[in-house]
Structure 1
């Protein structure tokens, strides 16, 4: 970092992480360069080794307290940053954006549905991203298994990979859900709008924990830009960001997502949400 400062002589330094950002902040102060902390997550909770998280939290706090400016992407993260010591007068909210041209709701949906053998009368639930253990998809898959005979046209399309992938595959095999749960694996970002268009309802069924409590995933903006209704668990960050009657429907827990979906389909209420 010291060499980069000497070579490039930046007018401002922006940090996104923990350790490298803390060091950059210290060096920026020493060099008299303004430092901006751009906060998009509760970063210390993402440290893989739990025993190191307290150290990460201390570094995160010190960086927040000593930055010239702190930029956050949602209201709950602003609250969090201030609680961690960021000066309220130097903490600014700049909401995350989405490429409206890329996530065009008028994209053709037939190619993806044909590729994955999705029939015209199938109703497709959609999830994309890293499959965390706390993502709630385990509960969604098990609930689909319970109603597979009553709701034969309800399917789950999962784009991504991660910690839960192997377990979801086992659920698929155990309950004979090969035609109900569709895995695509990781896909190029430019293809995501096609997968979204092929779906009918998008999901963010995560558990409320220290990682998810304050966040608003970019995927929710992308879901909505594609014109899709969203069912999410009642996470404080998400609920504060979108409120109610704005395209996001809330379930109290991951185990309530499928039940709420079926109810909305039967009541004909989904069309009002997208």
Structure 2
């Protein structure tokens, strides 16, 4: 039986797009009969045991506290601690393949161990760390740290036995860096249709509690980062309400931009049309999807959003919701304008308002679009079928002659 060790930044019980994708991968691999475990580094902030089972999945933790001091020294020490923890688990559990997931620090730690034990390693990139830092407001494009991180990423890709990316945008960027296209497999974001593919009915009590009775509801459910463009969505509300007086905006989630967005909403002339819910338990999220007519994703135009496809629009499609999104590259890879969703110009509140008002004014095609979008997710973005993209890669790596193992 094939054993796969996943090297991770963080995992359940923390909730994020990263942890939900990880859960979907591991659950699908277990359903196929493979043995899987995950190990997280010091960036996993949740308290818990060194080995714990969450949602039926086994995770190991890197012991100790994150290093302190100079950022470069701190990160190098964290890599070393993570590598030591991976090495100990490899010696105890004896996996067949190491599957490291971004950021690049995980790949560097995993490669040390894979080389030492003669194990094949696949490196999966969900976003380039340097671009994610810019998108999160913790980095600056083109500065020395950005350049160094980019070089580390390229080195890690070249050193890996195989590379997986979540979208064509990332694949194209790596090919432009000189990486062999045959080395790269695209394993796109998907939805666990067994867990998230059955929409629930709208709860009238929750509708009343949120003040959404009789409203045209636009919603966003996710993390409040600057690159999500929620400030543009709030700025679009005056135009939208003037066109559709019953329009309301439902914002579910939280993150670094939450307070700034709440302040912006309070200053809006239509503040009473904007509802903040805060974070909700993941098992309750579907009840909030059921409150929304149109899920809006107004991501700003930048390298991160042009290269990376998000998960949330796929979840909305699976839940039978309409989707409207900015026409950045990551969205264009998921959404066919006028077929599975509606695209509007990024960084443009007027364009957002016009697109949403147009959808509310023409409800006749809603059922057909919902059906087409859901069928797209079931056919092409369902984790039960996405998992097959990894299998030939694993088989190819395992068929190679074993590299010399270090003494155990």
CA distance in 2, matches of 1:212, 1:144: 23
Encode CA deviations 1:115-162: one digit per residue, 9 max, x unaligned. 21211x201111111111232211221221345355321011111112
Encode CA deviations 1:194-230: one digit per residue, 9 max, x unaligned. 1111100011101110221111111111010011111
Gaps of 5+ in 2: 1-82, 371-408
2:354 pairs with 1:259: yes
With over 3 angstroms needed to count, the CA separation of the structure-2 counterparts of 1:270 and 1:163, relative to structure 1, is: farther
**Displacement of 1:44:** 2.1
Q: Is the 8 A contact 1:64 1:84 kept in 2?
A: no
Encode CA deviations 1:67-110: one digit per residue, 9 max, x unaligned. 11111222222212323443211211222221224334541212
User: 1:11-160 counterparts in 2 under 5 A?
Assistant: 11-16=96-101, 17-47=103-133, 48-50=138-140, 51=143, 52-104=145-197, 106-110=199-203, 111-119=205-213, 121-160=214-253
CA distance in 1, matches of 2:178, 2:114: 19
Q: Is the 8 A contact 1:204 1:231 kept in 2?
A: yes
Q: Larger C-alpha radius of gyration, 1 or 2?
A: 2
Higher helix share: 2
CA distance in 1, matches of 2:360, 2:340: 15
Runs of 4+ more than 6 Å apart: none
Q: Is the 8 A contact 2:295 2:322 kept in 1?
A: yes
2:89 pairs with 1:4: yes
CA distance in 1, matches of 2:178, 2:96: 25
Gaps of 5+ in 1: none
RMSD: 2.0
2:288 pairs with 1:195: yes
**Displacement of 1:49:** 3.7
More off after superposition, 262-271 vs 179-188:
262-271
SS at match of 1:134: helix
How many residue pairs are counted as aligned between the two chains? Answer: 273
**Displacement of 1:172:** 2.2
CA distance in 2, matches of 1:15, 1:148: 47
